[in-house]
Amino acid sequence: MAEPTVYLNGLYLPESEACVPILDRGFIFGDGVYEVLPVYAGEPFRLAPHLERLERSLRLTAMDNPHGRAGWERVIREVIHRNGGGDQSVYLQITRGVARRDHAFPAETPPTALVMSSPLIPPAAEELARGSTVITRPDPRWLHCDIKTTSLLPNVLLRQEAQEAGADEVILIRDGVVTEAATANLFLVREGRLLTPQQGPHLLPGITRDLVLEIAAAEGIPAGEAALDRRDLATTEEIWLTSSTREIRPVTRVDGRPVGNGEAGPLWQRLHAAYQACKDRIRAGEAG
């Protein structure tokens, strides 16, 4: 495979030539924000909401945005093009730039901007149908989980813990309430109704989460936000995880116990099919 091309601070470079100084605050402090967006047949999926969330993360961390929306779109499309189009996962990161180490913001330091891409490979049908295995853990994160920051140490430790426990993901519990997973949002099905934790500082406003709610509304499936108790996980009919790279994943085991009958559920089948139809429309050049 040819070496990927990345965008770094105005230049398109082979990945191995793209370097950031050691004093970059992303490296020193994790002082940065990011986005991950899927690309289908060369077309970025849900670009506007991703750029809107990026602007929000920058605003809430008082960081400068090096590009407007049109500028970002040009850069993202160029990175997609230079990496051969098709299906990709585009990663975009902005840090507060390079400065002598001092916790307080540096004056007049330009941000560091990076866009890179990797192939987006869909899971095999059997893997999807088998579903994900999750464990639950107390949510150890801070009170601004709605900011998509590169400071991801708790998420990194949680995913590692899941892996060592033979699980795919970790569902997080704060004060007895379910928030989200370490790298995804969460949905439950209760009496045929689709429920997701309320948006707020304890979880990321997921783009896929919004899309699932949008699809449910279009399909006439009752859906909404609710405070979900950890005990709901044991009695729910279905559990799903949602993210830009993993789409909608059924969860079939929580802490070793089966969810429902231990198989991907009927409502998941419906939403998954509708999500694939959205992707097909993007591939066909229709708006998504």
Q: First CA to last CA across the chain, in angstroms?
A: 30
- Rule CB under 6 A: choose which of 88, 133, 236, 242 binds ligand PDD: 242
Residue 194 CA to residue 129 CA, distance in Å, equals: 19
Residue 150 CA to residue 145 CA, distance in Å, equals: 11
Residue 66 CA to residue 78 CA, distance in Å, equals: 16
Quick one: how far is CA 181 from the chain centroid?
10
* Interacting span for ligand PDD (CB under 6 A) from 7-15, 25-33, 215-223, 242-250: 242-250
- Rule CB under 6 A: choose which of 83, 88, 95, 244 binds ligand PDD: 244
* Interacting span for ligand PDD (CB under 6 A) from 64-72, 94-102, 111-119, 237-245: 237-245
- Pick between residue 243 and residue 252 the one whose CB is nearest to ligand PDD: 243
* Interacting span for ligand PDD (CB under 6 A) from 56-64, 200-208, 249-257, 259-267: 200-208
- Pick between residue 53 and residue 67 the one whose CB is nearest to ligand PDD: 53
- Pick between residue 137 and residue 209 the one whose CB is nearest to ligand PDD: 209
CA distances from 189 to 138, 165, 197, 216, 240 (A): 22, 26, 12, 12, 9
Task: Say if residues 4 and 116 touch (Cβ distance below 8 Å).
Answer: yes
Check 25, 141, 148, 253 and give the catalytic one.
Answer: 148
Residue 78 CA to residue 96 CA, distance in Å, equals: 24
CA distances from 26 to 2, 60, 113, 216 (A): 27, 16, 11, 38
**Binding track, positions 148-187, relative to ligand PDD; x by CB under 6 A:** --------------------------------x--xxx--
* Interacting span for ligand PDD (CB under 6 A) from 158-166, 207-215, 257-265, 280-288: 207-215
Work out how close the CB of 106 gets to ligand PDD at its nearest, in angstroms, rounded to a whole number.
26
Closest CA to 197 of 181, 186, 208: 186
- Rule CB under 6 A: choose which of 206, 250, 265, 288 binds ligand PDD: 206
Number of residues that bind ligand PDD (CB under 6 A): 14
- Pick between residue 99 and residue 184 the one whose CB is nearest to ligand PDD: 184
Active site residue 148: yes
Helix (H, G, I), strand (E, B) or coil at 252: strand
Task: Kindly state the tokens that stand for 73.
Answer: 């779109």
Contact footprint for ligand PDD (CB under 6 A): 36, 180, 183-185, 204, 206-209, 242-245
Q: Tell me which residues are annotated as active site.
A: 148
